[in-house]
Amino acid sequence: MLNPVMHILSNKRIVLASGSPRRRQILENIGLKFDIVRSTFEENLDKLSFKHPYDYAMATSKGKALEVMDRLAKEERPPDLVISADTVVAMDGVIYEKPKDKQDAVEMLSRFSGRTHTVHTGVTLLTRKANAVRLENTAGGNHQLNGLYNILQFHEATDVVMGHLSPDVIKSYVDTGESMDKAGGYGIQALGGTLIESVKGEYFNVMGFPIHHFAKEIYKMYKDSM
């Protein structure tokens, strides 16, 4: 999907605004070259103020991307493209992020056991506008980022059916420590994959980055430069 525009991307400074090892692995596996800059955006948006879980994920993703772009825009070579993503799990109208502790992970997996939940990932792609002039307010505060950058957002949803899990299976899995840095309390790409009965939708979305949807959007962004 990206092969026709890879020569263009290779000349861009691309930044992944995430410390997620899964997102890094997915993007490295397709041959993309990029820097990693973790965002300091505080992920504390009010979940109840969003109509859909994917709206919350996209708003968080946008906050991460804008924070990184704002910080790096002062550098001698600012990014041409910033990639950011946020992944949440939703079931019965409740949004689940990373568990706070082991007990929280146990409770999440116990709720998912034998049922279908949905993994939502919101992705933000920021690119610099041509001939943009950087403006600051008179107090030297926030920059007018929306006037400087093109913001493209999309989301992906994948349904996951969890197997029927006994309490001892859940406890032993949580005790491995794999739950603690993953939305929903499991990692499908490792031991957590043994807990999953089936997946409907993009597999990589459950890992935290919908690579096919991303590739389609990037191709559309750069195809006219070929």
3-state secondary structure 5-33: HHHHHCCCCEEECCCCHHHHHHHHHCCCC
168 is annotated as an active-site residue: no
Task: Return the ∠ at Cα 10 (arms to 8 and 15), rounded to 5°.
Answer: 110
Amino acid residing at 28: E
In whole angstroms, what is the distance from residue 201 CA to residue 91 CA? 16
Radius of gyration from C-alpha coordinates of the chain: 19
**Strand partners of residue 75:** none
Q: Which two tokens stand for residue 69?
A: 């772009």
Which among 55, 86, 159, 181 is annotated as catalytic?
86
DSSP 210-224: -HHHHHHHHHHHHGG
Q: How many CB atoms lie within 10 A of CB 167?
A: 11
Q: At what angle do helices 102-112 and 167-174 cross, to 10 degrees?
A: 140
Cα torsion for 22, 82, 199, 182, to the nearest 10°? 40
Query: Which residues are identified as catalytic?
Result: 86
